[in-house]
């Protein structure tokens, strides 16, 4: 089985391998990727004459520098020469400490302490655990619920699932098992839309009424990702900060998708000039090279936890602080900051506006929106996922549409001509779906 041909590989994949949100045995045939370099995925078999596809997805927000970047390749190799992994209980190492210090320096000032988890979902688990443990440690266990706004996505493990969109997800499967959380309406759409006083009053009423049982509010700041690819005014983040302060509730920003420049600011919180009590990072943290996520918290949260009957944060995964992942995260962040990343994201934003403009007003297209290096075409009916993906691949572009959304968040190194190709592929995917 050393050199499986593509057909046999797909047969075995279908029989044995789960894919995200996939059935078993598999029904949708995935494309076999042989390698990836720059912004291109190289396929085992061509699609529509294309052996290489421009990756319009950055491997789900992660590969901001593209693939096989020499600096990141070198960082992994160099780290491999000293150690690939050691347990983090009772031991520490340079890559993890350097990364923690870097994250504390880059994120809003009160965030001081870093938990290095191994995936975004775990980073959210840890964030919510921190908040609940904080209130328990202060003798207030009744503050155990979490408020979020509808339409969000925070991961697939149980606590994160409990704060995902209660309608759009698969919540009905888990009735009675998920923690019962509180849901505010979703904020009015539009990054530039003025703050809606009625919506602000709705948030204030809910948080005020439930403050006694609320441990935290968690939101995806400015960009609501997998829950609907919507953009919101930063004004709502400022309002949440004020309400959380007024009612003694912790504020958590899930920046797993937005972190590291994607929305046009280094962190989406920077659009609002607001600091959360807890922040989650992941995805682009390692430039998409390895699995790593981080949960940062303020001194107040850490001190609260340390005053409890159990004065330690009750979490410690085997692969916590993995040195290979931490080393490539350090290299990825340094690489990002050594460049005019803001200029590059602006360039992509403007190229996306041009590339997606022809989609606006097409039959079946409900909305076209762009923010930072994120472009979204929303249809007025669900996409035919297989047909849309294939139509994009036949244009030489990898896209992964879902629900009524055809969207892209390309690597920051994507050339204007490739962004234009992504625009054509999105139009083709929309046409194939309507
Ligand atoms: N939070 C947000 C905002 C996300 O977009 C995601 C992943 O899509 C997650 C959490 C979960 O991260 P992971 O898939 O690494 O578990």
Looking at the DSSP bridge assignments, the partners of residue 29 are none
Give the Å distance between the CA of 335 and the centre of ligand 1: 23
Mutual orientation of helices 323-338 and 94-106 as an angle, nearest 10°?
A: 40
Which of 67, 118, 134, 153 is catalytic? The answer is 153
To test the ligand 1 pocket, which listed residue (253, 283, 284) has its Cβ within 8 A of the most ligand atoms? 283
Q: Is the pTM of this model over 0.90?
A: yes
Query: Cβ distance 74 to 430 under 8 Å?
Result: no
Residues 301-319 have pLDDT tens digits of 999 999 999 999 999 999 9
283 marked among binding-site residues: yes
Q: What is the pLDDT of residue 1?
A: 53
Give the Å distance between the CA of 162 and the centre of ligand 1: 14
To test the ligand 1 pocket, which listed residue (225, 253, 278, 280) has its Cβ within 8 A of the most ligand atoms? 225
- Helices (H), ranges, 315-413: 323-338, 341-356, 385-394
* Confidence check: pLDDT of 300 > 90: yes
Q: What are the structural domain ranges in the chain? A: 31-61+341-433, 72-338
Class of domain 72-338: alpha beta
407 catalytically annotated: no
Residues 335-357 have pLDDT tens digits of 999 999 999 999 999 999 999 99
67 catalytically annotated: no
The proportion of the chain whose per-residue pLDDT surpasses 70, expressed as a percent, equals: 99
Residue among 142, 179, 129 nearest 313 (CA)? 129
192 catalytically annotated: no
Q: Are strands 365-371 and 374-379 parallel, antiparallel or unpaired?
A: antiparallel
Give the Å distance between the CA of 99 and the centre of ligand 1: 20
Residues 49-90 have pLDDT tens digits of 999 999 999 999 999 999 999 999 999 999 999 999 999 999
Nearest CA to ligand 1 atom 15: 120
Which of 55, 118, 165, 254 is catalytic? The answer is 254
Average pLDDT on 179-200 reads 96
Alpha-carbon separation of residue 249 from 123, 197, 356 (angstroms): 19, 21, 40
- What are the pocket residues of ligand 1 if the criterion is a CB atom closer than 6 Å to any ligand atom? 119-121, 124, 153-155, 220, 225-226, 254, 256-257, 282
Going by pLDDT thresholds of 50, 70 and 90, the confidence category of residue 434 is confident
Nearest CA to ligand 1 atom 14: 120
Does 31-61+341-433 match 72-338 in CATH topology? no
Query: Cβ distance 364 to 380 under 8 Å?
Result: yes
Residue 60: left (phi > 0), alpha (psi -120 to 50), or beta?
A: left
The token duo for 320 is 């916590």
Q: What is the pLDDT of residue 173?
A: 85
Greatest C-alpha distance within the chain: 65
Residues 219-231 have pLDDT tens digits of 999 999 998 999 9
Give the Å distance between the CA of 47 and the centre of ligand 1: 29
Residues 378-394 have pLDDT tens digits of 999 999 999 999 999 99
Q: For the stretch 241-273, what's the b/e string if a residue is b when 16 or more beta carbons lie within 10 angstroms of its beta carbon?
A: bbbbeebebbbbbbbbbbbbbbbbbbbbbbbbe
CATH fold, domain 31-61+341-433, is 3.90.1150
Residue among 313, 260, 288, 354 nearest 128 (CA)? 313
Those residues whose C-beta lies under 8 Å from the C-beta of residue 100, and which sit 6 or more positions away, are 114, 116, 294
SS3 track for 29-59 = CCCCEEEEEECEEEEEEEECCEEEEEECCHH
Could you give the ipTM of this predicted complex?
Answer: 0.99
């Amino acid at each position: 089985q050393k050199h499986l041909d593509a057909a046999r590989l797909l047969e075995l994949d279908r029989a044995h391998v789960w894919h995200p949100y996939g059935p078993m045995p598999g029904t949708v045939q995935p494309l076999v990727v042989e390698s990836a370099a720059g912004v291109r995925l190289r396929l085992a078999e061509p699609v529509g004459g294309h052996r290489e596809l421009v990756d319009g997805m950055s491997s789900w927000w992660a590969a901001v520098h593209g693939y096989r970047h020499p600096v990141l390749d070198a960082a992994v190799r160099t780290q491999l020469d000293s150690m690939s992994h050691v347990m983090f209980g009772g031991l520490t190492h340079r890559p993890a400490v350097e990364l923690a210090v870097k994250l504390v320096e880059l994120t809003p000032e009160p965030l001081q302490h870093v938990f290095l988890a191994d995936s975004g979902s775990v980073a959210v688990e840890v964030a919510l655990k921190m908040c609940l443990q904080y209130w328990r440690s202060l003798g207030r266990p009744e503050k155990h619920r979490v408020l979020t706004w509808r339409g969000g996505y925070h991961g697939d493990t149980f606590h994160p699932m409990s704060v995902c969109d209660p309608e759009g997800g698969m919540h009905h499967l888990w009735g009675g098992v998920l923690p019962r959380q509180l849901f505010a309406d979703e904020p009015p759409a539009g990054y530039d839309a003025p703050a809606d006083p009625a919506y602000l009053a709705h948030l204030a009423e809910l948080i005020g009424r439930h403050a006694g049982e609320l441990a935290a509010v968690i939101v995806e700041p400015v960009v609501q990702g997998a829950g609907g690819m919507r953009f919101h005014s930063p004004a709502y983040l400022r309002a949440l900060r004020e309400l959380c302060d007024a009612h003694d509730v912790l504020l958590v920003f899930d920046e797993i998708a937005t972190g590291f420049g994607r929305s046009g600011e280094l962190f989406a919180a920077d659009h609002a000039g607001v600091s959360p009590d807890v922040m989650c990072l992941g995805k682009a943290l390692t430039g998409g090279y390895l699995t790593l996520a981080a949960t940062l918290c303020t001194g107040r949260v850490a001190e609260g936890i340390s005053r409890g009957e159990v004065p330690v944060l009750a979490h410690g995964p085997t692969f916590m602080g993995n040195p290979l992942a931490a080393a490539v995260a350090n290299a990825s962040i340094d690489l990002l900051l050594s460049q005019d990343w803001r200029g590059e994201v602006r360039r992509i934003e403007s190229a996306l506006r041009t590339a997606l403009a022809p989609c606006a007003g097409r039959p079946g297209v409900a909305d076209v929106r762009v923010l930072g290096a994120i472009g979204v075409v929303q249809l007025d009916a669900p996409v035919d996922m297989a047909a849309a993906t294939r139509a994009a691949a036949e244009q030489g572009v990898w896209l992964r549409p879902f629900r009524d959304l055809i969207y892209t968040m390309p690597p920051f190194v994507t050339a204007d001509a490739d962004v234009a190709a992504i625009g054509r592929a999105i139009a083709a995917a929309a046409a194939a779906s309507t």
